[in-house]
Amino acid sequence: QGQLVESGGGSVLSGGSLRLSCAASGYTYSRYCMGWFRQAPGKEREGVATVASNGDTNYADSVKGRFTISLDNAKNTLILEMNSLKPEDTAMYYCAIVPGLSSASCTVSVARRSFGVIWGQGTQVTVSS
């Protein structure tokens, strides 16, 4: 049984940085999409950044230039580097994998609604002004 375990969340001041990690185990897909999504209280879950198995990345407009997604294949770990954090970045952040999803569909808007999404348990990020 596969598992996604997030870590690295916490509380920072506006302008600060955090690095989220997602350790993936038990998955052996040759084609997949992985990503970070977030959900603030009372709001719908939204895509933050995705990376396809071919290395293509996609970002939400709200985080472009501030966040960087990467995949350490040797360690089976998905990383999200978050810089210049703002209070509106406060949310529960979830790691996800979508087995078999094409790179063309591996976007922040499509991946979340794709069939077969596997979610992690989430890690809280709080940014205060």
Alpha carbon distance 89, 125 (integer Å): 8
How many other C-beta atoms are found inside a 10 Å radius of the C-beta of residue 122? Answer: 17
Are 37 and 109 in contact by the 8 Å Cβ rule? The answer is: no
**Contact assessment for residue 29 and residue 88, using Cβ atoms and an 8 Å cutoff:** no
Which tokens is 67 given?
């966040």
Summarised one tens digit per residue, pLDDT across range 32-88 is 999 999 999 999 999 999 999 999 999 999 999 999 999 998 889 999 999 999 999
Residue 73: its pLDDT value, please? 84
